[in-house]
Homo-oligomer: A and B are copies of this chain.
Amino acid sequence: MKLLEERIQTDGRVLGTEVLKVDNFLNHQVDPALMQAMGNEFARLFATEKIDKVLTVESSGIAPAVFAALALNVPMVFARKKQSLTLSGDHYVADVYSFTKQETNHILVDKRFIQPGERLLLIDDFLANGQAVAGMLQIASDAGATVVGAGIVIEKTFQKGRALLDEQGVRVESLARITAFENGQVVFADESPVVN
């Protein structure tokens, strides 16, 4: 998605060889018009799928996910993150390990909000090691729901998340695909011929 790649070039900050900070338009300060454009793009990419619900994880997934859900005319559910957990039986739960923070969190979804047989579109801001998406896949599986695919804002192709999802046969659509950071600059994967 050209608009997003340009924004990453202009406003993203590369830290070292693995980290891209986009906190001035995506995950702390948020550009609502860009979120809307991204939501519309996710809806377009998955237009041939019947989708019942959009699932994401708080907090950075919420803005792109709510616009995707609006465009698809379906509800959005955001999984809650918790460090500690009192299991009640009312929630689907998955563990999500953060390589950045080197800690395990739990993500939870109330069982009322995913029904067996529902078709889910997963949305997340980053695909790096794939732990958050893997957690959502587990929750969907536990609920007996079907995942039609994962819509990712920024994918880092050089980390293992994409391979992990490919192995599981999950369709992944990323709005920006980054193959490397070189000398503080972002290198994007060859663009698809889609006009944005």
Contacts and interface: CB of A to CB of B under 8 A. Distances in A.
A153 to B, nearest CB: 14
A196 B31 CA distance: 27
A36 B78 contact: no
Nearest to A71: B32
Given A23-B110, A24-B112, A29 B59 contact: no
A67 interface: yes
Contacts of A136: none
Q: How many copies of the polypeptide does the oligomer hold?
A: 2
The range of chain A's interface size is: 20 to 34
Given A36-B70, A62-B63, A66-B63, A30 B76 contact: yes
Contacts of A25: 75
Contact of A110 (B28, B35, B58, B80): B28
Contacts of A87: none
Nearest to A55: B29
B77 A30 contact: yes
A69 B58 CA distance: 19
A33 interface: yes
A119 to B, nearest CB: 16
Given A36-B70, A70-B33, A113 B63 contact: no
Given A32-B75, A33-B73, A59-B59, 18 more contacts: A23-B110, A24-B112, A24-B113, A29-B113, A30-B75, A30-B78, A32-B67, A32-B69, A33-B70, A35-B66, A35-B70, A36-B70, A59-B62, A59-B80, A62-B62, A62-B66, A66-B66, A83-B83
